[in-house]
């Protein structure tokens, strides 16, 4: 009997003891964090699933895990199929599954501090005529059952200086206050950790892959902020930085504070806030108004100092990645490296760079068939050797004091099949199409996404992922509200100048190989004479060579070849002075101009 089967048994017994017929849970913590601290990995404890996004429903006689296209294969490998049905999203979801398998009168528990109101409302709507009811619980049953559950991290908070932030916290708080006054609101609730970090110009290391501190915030219309945080995390330096405009309360005082706002007009973001926030405010008699997190757009639109910091971070990161690719070119053909050894070597190159704080997400180091798993993470059980005449994909990134990086390169280890070169070149064509686009300011990202897919569509191929996501400035590597997805989702916003996004088309052939080419780009104004409205384009800020051995130049247009040669010239000019002489010699070859075949 596996430990996850045992966990399922004890959970069902616990649920029966409190009069529940099932339980709904998801990845994430009380702040809906993508990469939460270890204490909040409840779904992983229950099921064994290690991905960053999923939900599950447990009934007394069956259970299901719901994952999107990034994780369908990984979930089948990580999760016991005898315990859980693996259900692909969006073909089905928790609501539809419960409506089909639940019974009239069933009471399904959920922890209201771990799910957004949007998520719960969608499920309730689906269950409206089924007789199945969602019931909030005061105490999460998994927290009672998980006997060795870690505690919430208490890493020290440190200041993100204005020389790197580009804007003072006082200025940011005043801008939020002006918005609240304009909308006749008394306060706005901040739950997202990156929103609080950005607003107050503070960082920490509570979360493994982002420099964040566990805290809640209430922004008032006078520009002051109530910060709910473990006070042991605050030094005198940080308290002096926060100043008298930020009042400090204990982390656990947040929800009681919400219950004391009778008559106040309070803004809450339904897409970023747990439904427990709404419940506490309603219990206390507050007037709740739905409004997007007031920091979300200004955080996404980077100021000039932040953009320059991102560019400098990408130079250092590009130097580390280039040294790794040079090392890989010599070591991988020997057949002695594995996915895990390569990932550790890359991390070593990054750790040697100035200002490095940590990785920005778990490195995806994937050989051959594992590269077809878009969010694969090598483990001791899955670690695959990197063999000669194979294909290898590495998607990785770093957190630096001046910015956040995210880059993917796919490389040939020796000779590869003609099919792989064809698919790689079509992915490259899509990547170049996004890099060269000109589009109206405010365009939604889903309107740009098809440009990345066109070359694949022409031969009947596609990929199940989005083409791009926003990236934070020394914050979350995945940041809203702008994305390039196949379909829009709630809370998405148009692309504006200063936003930084990923450009990462790919192709994934299950059981065989995977391809992705990813650079980060910043949206910049394009001066077009006679334009009817402001126009934007993308400036690529990721600096690292693209594997020329995988390119079928016959498939590239002259304009695409020009873009590739110009990009490689930039790589050599920018990275060449930052790497050792032997790496520079190798880089000169990798970035030399490519002519028509």
Token pair, residue 491, equals 């809370």
SS3 content of the chain, % helix, strand, coil (to 5): 40, 20, 40
Q: CA–CA separation, 393 vs 417, rounded Å?
A: 16
Check residue 413 and give its pLDDT: 97
Topology classification of domain 301-587: Creatine Amidinohydrolase (3.90.230)
Check residue 478 and give its pLDDT: 97
Does residue 90 have a cis peptide bond before it, meaning omega lies within 30 degrees of 0?
Answer: yes
Token pair, residue 372, equals 């077809």
Q: Which of 579, 591, 592 is nearest to 327 (CA)?
A: 579
Give the tens place of pLDDT for each residue, 349-384. 999 999 999 999 999 999 999 999 988 989 888 899
Token pair, residue 410, equals 């796919």
Check residue 365 and give its pLDDT: 98
Residue 56 has pLDDT above 70, yes or no: yes
Q: Write the DSSP string, 86-144.
A: EEETTTS-HHHHHHHH--TT-EEEE-TTSSBHHHHHHHHHHTTTT--EEEE-SS-HHHH
CATH superfamily of 158-299: Creatinase/prolidase N-terminal domain (3.40.350.10)
Q: Which of 321, 312, 314 is nearest to 590 (CA)?
A: 321
Check residue 596 and give its pLDDT: 75
Contact 228, 249 (CB under 8 A): yes
Token pair, residue 147, equals 């006997």
Q: CA–CA separation, 428 vs 433, rounded Å?
A: 8
Check residue 88 and give its pLDDT: 79
Residue 463 has pLDDT above 80, yes or no: yes
Residue 62 has pLDDT above 80, yes or no: yes
Residue 167 has pLDDT above 90, yes or no: yes
What percent of the chain is predicted at pLDDT more than 90? 91
Is the CA virtual torsion 572, 354, 164, 398 positive or negative? positive
Top pLDDT among 247 and 90 is at 247
Quickly state the pLDDT bin for 80 (edges 50, 70, 90).
confident
Give the tens place of pLDDT for each residue, 317-350. 999 999 999 999 999 999 999 999 999 999 999 9
Query: What does pLDDT average to over the chain?
Result: 96
CATH 3.40.350.10 region(s) of the chain?
3-145, 158-299
Question: What is the SS3 string spanning 166-193?
Answer: CCCHHHHHHHHHHHHHHCCCCEEEECCH
Whether domain 3-145 has CATH 3.60.21.10: no
Quickly state the pLDDT bin for 34 (edges 50, 70, 90).
very high
Other CB atoms within 10 A of residue 362 CB: 20
Residue 40 has pLDDT above 80, yes or no: yes
Is the CA virtual torsion 349, 512, 430, 92 positive or negative? negative
Q: CA–CA separation, 479 vs 493, rounded Å?
A: 12
Residue with tokens 């990408």: 314
Q: CA–CA separation, 164 vs 15, rounded Å?
A: 49
Give the tens place of pLDDT for each residue, 290-302. 999 999 999 999 9
Q: CA–CA separation, 247 vs 265, rounded Å?
A: 20
pTM of the entire predicted model = 0.95
Alpha-carbon distance values, 339 to 73, 78, 128, 290, 353 (Å) = 18, 18, 47, 46, 22
Quickly state the pLDDT bin for 79 (edges 50, 70, 90).
confident
Compute the average pLDDT of residues 277-287: 98
Alpha-carbon distance values, 396 to 399, 407, 461, 586 (Å) = 11, 6, 25, 22
Q: CA–CA separation, 306 vs 474, rounded Å?
A: 9
Quickly state the pLDDT bin for 597 (edges 50, 70, 90).
low
Q: Which of 493, 548, 539 is nearest to 517 (CA)?
A: 548
Contact 327, 373 (CB under 8 A): no
Give the tens place of pLDDT for each residue, 473-532. 999 999 999 999 999 887 899 999 999 999 999 999 999 999 999 999 999 999 999 999
Helix, strand or coil for residue 575? helix
Check residue 81 and give its pLDDT: 87
Q: CA–CA separation, 63 vs 406, rounded Å?
A: 35
Quickly state the pLDDT bin for 1 (edges 50, 70, 90).
low
Q: CA–CA separation, 44 vs 54, rounded Å?
A: 10
């Amino acid at each position: 009997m596996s430990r996850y089967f045992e966990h399922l048994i004890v959970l069902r017994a616990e649920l029966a003891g409190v009069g529940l017929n099932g339980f709904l849970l998801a990845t994430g913590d009380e702040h809906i964090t993508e990469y939460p601290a270890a204490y909040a990995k409840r779904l992983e404890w229950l099921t064994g699933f290690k991905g960053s996004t999923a939900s599950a429903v447990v009934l007394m006689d069956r259970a299901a895990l719901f994952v999107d296209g990034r994780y369908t294969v990984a979930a089948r490998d990580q999760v016991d199929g005898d315990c859980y049905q693996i259900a692909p999203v969006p073909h089905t979801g928790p609501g539809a599954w419960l409506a089909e398998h639940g019974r009239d009168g069933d009471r399904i528990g959920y922890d209201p501090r771990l799910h957004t109101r949007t998520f719960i409302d969608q499920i309730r709507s689906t269950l409206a005529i089924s007789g199945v009811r969602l019931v909030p619980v005061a105490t999460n049953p998994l927290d009672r059952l998980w006997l060795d559950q870690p505690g919430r991290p208490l890493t020290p908070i440190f200041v993100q200086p204005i020389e790197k932030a580009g804007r003072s916290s006082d200025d940011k708080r005043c801008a939020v206050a002006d918005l609240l006054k304009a909308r006749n609101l008394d306060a706005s609730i901040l739950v997202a950790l990156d929103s609080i970090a950005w607003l107050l110009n503070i960082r920490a290391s509570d979360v493994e892959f982002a420099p964040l501190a566990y805290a809640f915030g209430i922004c008032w219309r006078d520009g002051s902020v109530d910060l709910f945080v473990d006070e042991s995390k605050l030094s005198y330096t940080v308290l002096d930085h926060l100043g008298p405009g930020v009042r400090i309360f204990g982390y656990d005082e947040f929800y009681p504070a919400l219950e004391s706002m009778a008559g106040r007009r309070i803004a809450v973001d339904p897409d970023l806030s747990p439904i427990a926030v709404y419940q506490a405010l309603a219990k206390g008699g507050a007037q709740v108004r739905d409004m997007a997190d007031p920091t979300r757009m200004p955080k996404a639109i980077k100021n000039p100092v932040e953009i320059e910091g991102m560019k400098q971070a990408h130079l250092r990161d590009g130097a580390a990645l280039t040294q790794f690719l040079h090392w890989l070119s010599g070591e991988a053909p020997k057949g002695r490296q594995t996915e895990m050894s390569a990932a550790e070597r890359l991390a070593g190159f990054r750790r040697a760079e100035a200002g490095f704080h940590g990785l920005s997400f778990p490195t995806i180091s994937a050989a051959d068939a594992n590269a077809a798993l878009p969010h694969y993470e090598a483990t001791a059980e899955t670690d695959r050797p990197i063999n000669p005449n194979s294909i290898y994909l590495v998607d990785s990134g770093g957190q630096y004091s001046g910015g956040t990086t995210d880059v993917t390169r796919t490389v040939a280890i020796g000779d590869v099949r003609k099919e792989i070169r064809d698919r790689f070149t079509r992915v490259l064509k899509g990547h170049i199409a996004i890099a060269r686009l000109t589009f109206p300011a405010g365009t939604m990202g889903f309107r740009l996404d098809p440009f990345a897919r066109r070359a694949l569509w022409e031969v009947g191929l596609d990929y199940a992922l989005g083409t791009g996501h926003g990236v934070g400035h020394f914050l979350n590597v995945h940041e809203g509200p702008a994305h390039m997805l196949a379909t829009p989702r709630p809370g998405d916003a148009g692309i504006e100048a200063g936003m930084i996004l990923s450009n990462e088309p790919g192709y994934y052939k299950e059981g065989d190989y995977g391809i992705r080419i990813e650079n980060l780009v910043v949206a910049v104004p394009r001066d077009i004479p006679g334009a009817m409205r402001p126009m934007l384009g993308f400036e690529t800020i990721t600096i690292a060579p693209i594997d020329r051995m995988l390119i079928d130049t016959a498939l590239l247009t002259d304009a695409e070849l020009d873009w590739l040669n110009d990009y490689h010239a930039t790589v050599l000019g920018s990275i060449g002075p930052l790497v050792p002489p032997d790496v520079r010699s190798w880089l000169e070859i990798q970035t030399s101009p490519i002519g028509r075949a």
